[in-house]
Amino acid sequence: MLIRKYTILVYLLIVSFSPLFGQHQLTLTNEEEKEIKQGETVELFSNSVKAAEKKLAPYLEKGVDVPTPKDLAGGYTHSQHKKNYFLMQKAGVLFQITGNEAYAEFIKNTLEKYSAQYKNWDRHPSKKSYARGKIFWQCLNDANWLVYTSQAYGSIYSWLSPKERKKLNNELFRPMADFLSVETPRFFNRLHNHSTWANAGVGMIGLVMEDEDLVQKALYGLPITDEKVKDNDGGSITKEGQKEAGFLAQIDHSFSPDGYYTEGPYYQRYAMYPFLIFALALENQQPSLEIFKYREGVLLKAVDALLQQTNASGEFFPLNDAQKGMSYYSRELQLSLALGYYYGKQDKGLLGLIKEQQRVPLNYAGYIAARDINKGLAQPFKKHSIYFSDGPKGDKGGIGVLRSDEVELIMKFSQHGMGHGHFDRLSYSLNFGKEEVLQDYGAARYVNIHQKDGGGYLKENKTWAKQTIAHNTVVVGKRSQFKGNVKKADSISPEEYIFSTDKENVQVVSAKESNAYQEVDLHRTLVLIKDSSFENPLVLDLFNVQLDTAQLLQLPYHYHGQLMFSSVDLQRATTLKPLGEKDGYQHLWNVAEGEVKGAFNQINWFDKHRFYTLNMATTEGESITLAELGANDPHFNLRRDPSIILNKQGQKGDNWMVSILETHGSYSTVTEASKNTYSTIKDVFISFQNNEYITVNFTNKQNEEWTFILSTVDNSDVKEHQLSLKDRVIKWDGPFVLFKNEIDQ
Amino acid sequence: MLIRKYTILVYLLIVSFSPLFGQHQLTLTNEEEKEIKQGETVELFSNSVKAAEKKLAPYLEKGVDVPTPKDLAGGYTHSQHKKNYFLMQKAGVLFQITGNEAYAEFIKNTLEKYSAQYKNWDRHPSKKSYARGKIFWQCLNDANWLVYTSQAYGSIYSWLSPKERKKLNNELFRPMADFLSVETPRFFNRLHNHSTWANAGVGMIGLVMEDEDLVQKALYGLPITDEKVKDNDGGSITKEGQKEAGFLAQIDHSFSPDGYYTEGPYYQRYAMYPFLIFALALENQQPSLEIFKYREGVLLKAVDALLQQTNASGEFFPLNDAQKGMSYYSRELQLSLALGYYYGKQDKGLLGLIKEQQRVPLNYAGYIAARDINKGLAQPFKKHSIYFSDGPKGDKGGIGVLRSDEVELIMKFSQHGMGHGHFDRLSYSLNFGKEEVLQDYGAARYVNIHQKDGGGYLKENKTWAKQTIAHNTVVVGKRSQFKGNVKKADSISPEEYIFSTDKENVQVVSAKESNAYQEVDLHRTLVLIKDSSFENPLVLDLFNVQLDTAQLLQLPYHYHGQLMFSSVDLQRATTLKPLGEKDGYQHLWNVAEGEVKGAFNQINWFDKHRFYTLNMATTEGESITLAELGANDPHFNLRRDPSIILNKQGQKGDNWMVSILETHGSYSTVTEASKNTYSTIKDVFISFQNNEYITVNFTNKQNEEWTFILSTVDNSDVKEHQLSLKDRVIKWDGPFVLFKNEIDQ
Ligand SMILES: [Ca+2]
Ligand SMILES: [Ca+2]
Ligand SMILES: [Ca+2]
Ligand SMILES: [Mg+2]
Ligand SMILES: [Mg+2]
Ligand SMILES: [Mg+2]
Ligand SMILES: [Mg+2]
């Protein structure tokens, strides 16, 4: 081992330990345990206890197998070891809560089996990982094991004899902690969600064993070296210029000040567990660290951020690599919800979500949440428009979520998100109630389904799902942003331009991106307009592409449902060919094409009892392509989803694509009654444009007219603007204004 | 008018009137009215009253417009007259129940507006219909008007002065009744659901006015002539050899003895109202007719038949021309459910359905149903395996529904179903829980959605939805059954061969069809097998095509979801072309193709959290085509649905297509846990076949083996069979047997 040079002195200077060492139990202290035992029986909590007892019952007598590690994920030894740590963790809290020593015996017996063999295990035979584990093929899983098992060990530590403890400490846990840290330093010091598990595991077992050395390593990492190594998935092991490591550095680097996790909510859900379980252990054992207040309480902010990034069904927005359908009903969220409630602001909306889960984690926060639900305190969880900055300092773009009535709009202009990022800058997706209107494809993957490449990422994840054309944003010259280069994309982010949600009738999110394409500046502004003249809030889209040279611009809309009406005369292809050869185009069939007619065009579709119309300000020469996924997909890995693509031959200078998407009407197959099947919008047009402003007018069938003005160069909230339009002089403050025109205008 | 030769004498001989004339109220008698007023308040009933009051409230003061008829369906005058009759009918029962004379005044005023103008109205200006109405473009709608309005008139008849009555009788109602009957005899005498409305309307107004002449015409029709005329939809006006007409003849001809309606459940839902509302009026005014016992109670059987033809969401099986999603929650079903309960066997399952509807019709049956629901008598409605014979005598094929656990299989071998029929003989569709597994496309139509040809049948209904390839049944030589000739299809039906549901573990439906293709005999047997070795019931399919000459056979499976695994090496087409030029093939893209490998092949797909595998016994040279809808569909009228097509070059003699469709496993996007994603079936093969028998064996991964034997020529239930297989002699009774083989076999 090369790196053994740190000294314990450095750390002792940094944190002064609170003298709670000696308690050992990580997630349920003696006092909490007592209070739960003496307190009233709370249904939700006791049901969760019963469920855990039921899971353990088959193993209390016969114990579990501890096989010699051999298999990869999905194989027997992998699954068995995974099962073992889940069972031991449950047994630990059950021992604390019920006092039944059978649970403690179960843990002891299992640990002794591990202890007897661990010293004989070398690194796992599979060489797939840059950081091979001993129990599993990669250290990540060994770290998972330790995070769960340290909890179990803490629960029985005082119950064990000193001799038993000493043996387990010396023969199993300290060697494992060393293995995951000093013996695998590149893994332990990496700023990455996998390494967070290692930091947490090493720290937690340190707390149990009163091993301050391990706790310090966990919190602050090992000394940094400048080795350059690649992960097996191609990601760089050390961050450029990385100066710190360990758990606190993970918190610093993983979350923006708003609690946004740069890989997006799907991965955040998984990553939250080690952050929160180690934080809980620290809060219990080293309260002076005030871990839940660290960085202005970013861990608890992250819980709220995660929950706000869900649709009306509780499913996470499918940003970056994300399998659709993962939701806050996931097992992983239980801990987040309970800790978010108890250590956070006692948000009764969190109780509402916990109640829906019908289970709580078996710790004190879970008990309190169950008790308060019993008291009838639960309320529906409230979502609202919200901005999440990205980057540790919050200056690397972000995600803007606009919500109004049943409309939910998510615009993405965050950092790329490393290996799991998509080339999707300035894209947006749109939900209405529980339905997707404009989708982000998510990941091309069927997690854990063997038929589909063993459940791993499919080839089409890279060739389609990550590509720019797979997102609702402009593609320039049929190439993806950054020509698909992750490293370049990771190096620089888009910029937030406006996020304004103070006015209920006009909410705006706007961002600029000047690096994704050379000599191209993108600026998109999405406006959610609520007005009693319209059934539902409208989405006004102002997309500007500034070009140095003429280039083809294509703006796709990934919709669902059936085309109902098009003012564009769409000619259906008699044979279908792919739309291109690379950057995702090779997967799209050319279903139909037609040139726009005049300066205003509509495409109207129907999906699940509702109608949608894309109302476009158009110019001559623009055309519409209808496409469907499925070309060059030999293994049927892609869904057969449709899209509408607006084609525009971009010229040097400003190129505006302006539209209003209206959600309207209804249809019932039971009453067979249809209502408002056509859009209320009659016209959308750019009424003025220069280097500083663009004004868009739109009218409805009642001949009402509105004007939206955007300052394209000054986003100050207080700046006073003045603009002469026809015979009027308009004055306003801030970067935009929306007003309804007098009828005589 | 040519036909005025009937005499009233004929009818008087047939039925002796019960002397209830004088009561006038059609659907709620004096006694019932009194009982409701004096009885307890029942929530569901009083809520329904309140809902009706709310609908009437805006019109009680200001009345309604009675415009000069001019528009077609969807236009103002059409909608207004339709609204008027709904309002009057409601006002009538409200007057009876509440005693509030404002409702009576509303009806009187509205009727006087009609009365003042009716004599001036000629037939409707539109010439679209062969039977033009006066108030509407077709007599059907005038008859609707009369069916509803006669109820309103009956409700206030006694309240009106004799002078007022006389005027309305003479100037409005008798002229209208004459207009719909003797002045439009071809319409009135037709055996067709439209004419049922005319029979009912004329009969109901006859009952109100104590006009026995009208009642007799309604019940028995006008004298038959032998004029041959075509309907505007191409159907023949007079049935070949038709000898009777009128309401009772409609009952005779519309329903099979099992209550099956030959056009299928979607149309039956609409047709039931005039049958039941006139029946209710007859039951109240002429109880001696015992209309609900007519033909062994076929009207009430029809109610049950309709309800049994629904999926787990209550949606009607989309047989023939049917828009999917229409369900027993439809307004039209309210009357059926309440009468079915009260006049039928007080099935508490019907109460369960009525409770879900949250409303009852405002008649006595509705009151009693509401009262009994209040008593807590409602139970879940139970569905079961059931056979519906088709044809007035029940000898024209039928529909076989097999249900086991969550599997629901519908095999169709009924009559063609006239103008709304599909060329779908021996097809089946399959549901699992609330999901379609193998679909019938339904109709290509968006009822009442203007964008889609004004909501009428789309061209693709004929070119796709009705064609044989659009159904899960064999297509011979790429041509639809009967080459798409409705008249030929209507002239002869398939034959039921087996319908056996006594044994829970092996339910069988089997039918033969020998006329759809020349020199081709089709015989399909579907077996629903429940065995503890399998997660869900299996569908074993034995399809035999006996050919005189070699012909291409194609068996499509119209599935939903994503292809997961195929033992057939499917080569995806690089450009998509239509699969053919006519008979529906022109709408299918050739997505992929591959030859089968060996004697057993599997195609496995995933849809909504569940997996499905088609396990096929195959022979060399067979191939699989994957197809998708959408070719030659210039207006995007078709859904983009996929299908799997088995291609087999049929030879002279027997050609067997044998498979087992297994529903298995599960997947959750929340836990990301997958279970049993592959089929348990390991092999399916024909182990023996001769002119009398076929035996199919199948094995699973636990090496268990089953044998199914079918007698292909003798369907007697009692016949004793004996067959020597290998070294064993098998003996059984009846046309089939399923047994599990001893392990050493
Ligand atoms: Ca990785
Ligand atoms: Ca630039
Ligand atoms: Ca024949
Ligand atoms: Mg994406
Ligand atoms: Mg990412
Ligand atoms: Mg059909
Ligand atoms: Mg039909």
CATH code at position A661: 2.70.98.70
- Chain A's closest residue to B571, CA to CA, is A634
Which residues lie below 8 Å from residue A425, measured CB to CB, with a gap of 6+?
A: A412, A413, A473, A481, A494, A513, A516, A522
Residue A227's pLDDT band (cuts 50, 70, 90): low
Per-residue pLDDT tens digits for B274-314: 999 999 999 999 999 999 999 999 999 999 999 999 999 99
For the residues A644-661, what does the mean pLDDT come to?
A: 98
Residue B227 is predicted with a pLDDT of 61
* Whether residue B619 is found in the same domain as residue B645: yes
Answer whether residue B7 is part of any domain. Answer: no
Given an 8 Å threshold on Cβ–Cβ distance, is B589 in contact with A577?
no
* Of the residues B206, B225, B253, the one at which a domain ends: B253
By CA distance, what is A449's nearest residue in B?
Answer: B674
pLDDT digits (tens, 9 = 90+) for A81-138: 999 999 999 999 999 999 999 999 999 999 999 999 999 999 999 998 999 999 999 9
pLDDT of residue A428: 98
pLDDT at B273 over 50: yes
Domain assignment present for B23: no
pLDDT band at residue B228 under the 50/70/90 scheme: low
- CA–CA separation, A153 and A143 (whole Å): 15
Q: Report the pLDDT averaged over residues B649-654.
A: 98
Q: β-pairing, A562-566 with B642-650? A: unpaired
Ion ligand 7 neighbours, Cβ < 5 Å: B 263, 320, 417, 420-421
Pair of tokens at residue A130: 């840059």
User: How does DSSP classify residue A519?
Assistant: T
Q: Is residue A610 predicted with pLDDT exceeding 60?
A: yes
pLDDT of B226 strictly over 50 = yes
Return the pLDDT at A12.
41
CA of B440 to the centre of ligand 6 (A): 5
CA distance A554 to A646: 6
Cβ of A678 within 8 Å of Cβ of B606? The answer is no
Exposure class string for A108-134: b at 16+ Cβ within 10 A, else e: bebbbbbbebbeeeebbebeebbbbbb
Which uninterrupted H or E stretch holds B298? helix B294-308
Mean pLDDT computed over A404-425: 97
Local confidence band at B5 (pLDDT 50, 70, 90 cut-offs): very low
Read off the pLDDT band of A74 (50, 70, 90). confident
A12 domain residue, yes or no: no
Q: Residues A686-712: pLDDT tens digits?
A: 999 999 999 999 999 999 999 999 999
Rounded (to 5) percent helix, strand, coil in chain B? 35, 25, 40
Scanning A64-173, the segments in alpha helix (DSSP H) are: 76-98, 101-118, 139-156, 162-168
pLDDT band at B725 (very low <50, low <70, confident <90, very high): confident
Q: State yes or no: pLDDT of A13 exceeds 50.
A: no
Residues 6+ apart with CB under 8 A from B65: B80
Whether the predicted pLDDT of A228 surpasses 80: no
- Contact: B670, A450; criterion CB under 8 Å: no
Cross-chain Cβ contact B575/A572 below 8 Å: no
- State in Å: Cα B517 to ligand 3 middle: 7
The residue-averaged pLDDT of A436-443 equals: 98
Question: Is A668 part of a structural domain of the chain?
Answer: yes
- Indicate if B320 and B418 belong to the same structural domain: no
CA A367 centroid distance within chain: 28
Nearest chain A alpha carbon to B629? A640
Q: Copy the structure tokens of residue A158.
A: 């005082």
* Residue written as token pair 């499976």: B557
* Residue B594, strand partner residues: B624
Q: What is the pLDDT of residues A536-583, one digit of tens each?
A: 999 999 999 999 999 999 999 999 999 999 999 999 999 999 999 999
Q: Cβ contact (<8 Å) for A449 and B564?
A: yes
A667 as an active site residue: the answer is no
Tokens found for residue A143: 């770290």
Which of these, A169, A166, A184, A398, lies nearest to A305 by C-alpha position? A398
Residue in chain B nearest A675 by alpha carbon: B449
Phi–psi pair at B616, nearest 5 degrees: -115, 135
List pLDDT tens digits, range A136-163.
999 999 999 999 999 999 999 999 999 9
Contacts with A, B 317-336, CB within 8 Å: 323-327, 329-331
Annotated catalytic residue, options B78, B124, B192, B420: B420
Q: Report, as an integer, the average pLDDT of B63-75.
A: 93
**Residue from B324, B562, B587 to probe the interface with A (highest A Cβ count within 10 Å):** B562
> Distance (Å) from the C-alpha of residue A696 to the closest C-alpha of chain B?
28
Residues A586, A716, single domain; the answer is yes
Q: Do the Cβ atoms of A723 and A693 come closer than 8 Å?
A: yes
Q: A541 in a domain, yes or no? A: yes
- Averaged pLDDT, B527-554: 98
A723 by Cβ neighbours in 10 Å (0-12 / 13-18 / 19+) ranks as middle
The Cα–Cα gap between B536 and B665 comes to 9
Q: What is the pLDDT of residues A498-546, one digit of tens each?
A: 999 999 999 999 999 999 999 999 999 999 999 999 999 999 999 999 9
| Closest partner CB to A628 (pick from B326, B640, B670) | B640
Residues A56, A129 within the same domain: yes
Distance A274 CA to ligand 5 centre (A): 20
Q: Are residues A136 and A207 in the same domain?
A: yes
Mean pLDDT over A239-254 rounds to 89
E strand spans, A518-561: 520-529, 538-547, 551-557
Q: Is the pLDDT of residue B234 over 60?
A: no
Question: Over pLDDT 90: what percentage of chain B?
Answer: 91
> How many cross-chain Cβ pairs, A to B, lie less than 8 Å apart?
117
| Full DSSP string of A202-265 | HHHHHHHHT-HHHHHHHHH-SPP-----B-TTS-BSSPTT----SHHHHHHHHB-TT--BTT-H
Report the pLDDT value the prediction gives residue B16, as an integer from 0 to 100.
42
Same domain, residue pair B107 and B215:
yes
Percent of chain A scored above 70 by pLDDT?
94
pLDDT score for A576:
98
The answer to whether the CB of A272 falls within 8 A of the CB of A247 is: no
Q: Does residue A234 sit within a domain?
A: no
- Extract the tokens encoding A270: 């998984």
Please tell me the predicted confidence (pLDDT) of residue A23: 80
**Segment B549-590, tens digit of pLDDT:** 999 999 999 999 999 999 999 999 999 999 999 999 999 999
Q: How confident is the model at residue A229 (pLDDT cuts 50, 70, 90)?
A: low
pLDDT band at A230 (very low <50, low <70, confident <90, very high): low
First-to-last CA distance in chain B?
79
How large is the average pLDDT for residues B674-703? Answer: 97
Please tell me the distance from the alpha carbon of residue B139 to that of residue B194, in angstroms, as a whole number: 8
Chain B, residues 656-685, CB within 8 A of chain A, namely 667, 669-674, 677-678
**In the predicted model, what is the mean pLDDT of residues A296-318?**
98
Prediction ipTM score: 0.92
**Residues 576 through 615 of chain B touching chain A, CB cutoff 8 Å:** 576-578, 589, 591-592, 604, 606
Among the three residues B324, B359, B383, which one is the final residue of a domain in this structure? Answer: B383
pLDDT of residue B4: 40
From B214's Cα to the closest Cα of chain A, the distance in A is 33
pLDDT grade, residue B243 (50/70/90)?
confident
Residues, CB within 5 angstroms of ligand 5 (ion): A 263, 320, 417, 420-421
Residue pair B362/B345 in contact by the 8 Å Cβ criterion: no
- Same domain membership, residue B234 and residue B259: no
Query: Are B91 and B224 in a shared domain?
Result: yes
Euclidean distance between the first and final Cα of chain A, in Å? 79
Q: Assess whether B709 and B736 both reside in one domain.
A: yes
Banded pLDDT at A243 (limits 50, 70, 90): confident
How close A609 comes to chain B (CA, Å)?
A: 11
pLDDT band at A320 (very low <50, low <70, confident <90, very high): very high
Segments forming the whole domain that contains residue A222: 43-226
Q: Is the model's pLDDT at A616 over the cut of 60?
A: yes
Would residue A3 count as lying in a domain?
no
Question: Best interface-test mutation with B: which of A670, A675, A676 has the largest number of B CBs within 10 A?
Answer: A670
In the numeric block, which tokens belong to residue A181? 């840290």
**Predicted local confidence at residue B238, as pLDDT:** 65
Please list, in sequence order, all residues whose beta carbon lies within 8 angstroms of the beta carbon of residue B711, skipping any fewer than 6 positions away: B692, B693, B719, B721, B735, B736
Query: Quick check: A327 and B634 CB within 8 A?
Result: no
pLDDT score at B239: 66
Q: What's the pLDDT tens digit per position in B114-150?
A: 999 999 999 999 998 999 999 999 999 999 999 999 9
Give the chain B residue whose CA is nearest to the CA of A331.
B671
Assign residue A330 the CATH number of its domain: 1.50.10.100
* Torsion angle (degrees, nearest 10) of CA A593, A598, A600, A606: -30
Residue A586's closest chain B neighbor by CA?
Answer: B574
- A350 and A460: one domain? no
Q: State the CB neighbour count (10 A cutoff) for residue B609.
A: 14
Domain closes at, from A226, A247, A279: A226
- Copy the structure tokens of residue B447: 């009822």
* Residue B19, pLDDT above cutoff 90: no
Which is more confident, B155 or A11?
B155
Which residue out of B103, B153, B267, B342 is catalytically annotated? B267
Q: Which residues of B touch A673 (CB under 8 A)?
A: 448
Judge if A91 and A47 occupy the same domain: yes
Q: Would the pLDDT of B15 be above 70?
A: no
Which residue has better confidence, B722 or A4?
B722
Per-residue confidence (pLDDT) for residue A9, from 0 to 100: 40
Measure A307 CA to ligand 4 centroid, in angstroms.
19
Asked if residue B240 belongs to a domain, the reply is: yes
Per-residue pLDDT, averaged over B467-487, amounts to 98
State yes or no: is B267 an active-site residue.
yes
B476 touches chain A (CB under 8 A): no
In order of A411, A524, A695, B349, B526, the CA distances from A473 in angstroms are 10, 9, 21, 53, 50
The number of distinct structural domains making up chain B is 3
Residues bordering ligand 6, an ion, CB closer than 5 Å: B 422, 440
* Contact between residue B529 and residue B540 where contact means Cβ atoms under 8 Å apart: yes
Nearest ligand to residue B466 Cα: 6
Average pLDDT on A627-640 reads 98
Judge: A636–B606 Cβ closer than 8 Å, yes or no.
no
User: Across the interface, do A562 and B677 touch by the CB < 8 Å criterion?
Assistant: no
Q: Are residues B587 and B469 in the same domain?
A: yes
Cβ atoms B470, B481 nearer than 8 A: no
pLDDT mean across residues, chain B: 94
pLDDT tens digits for range A272-283 = 999 999 999 999
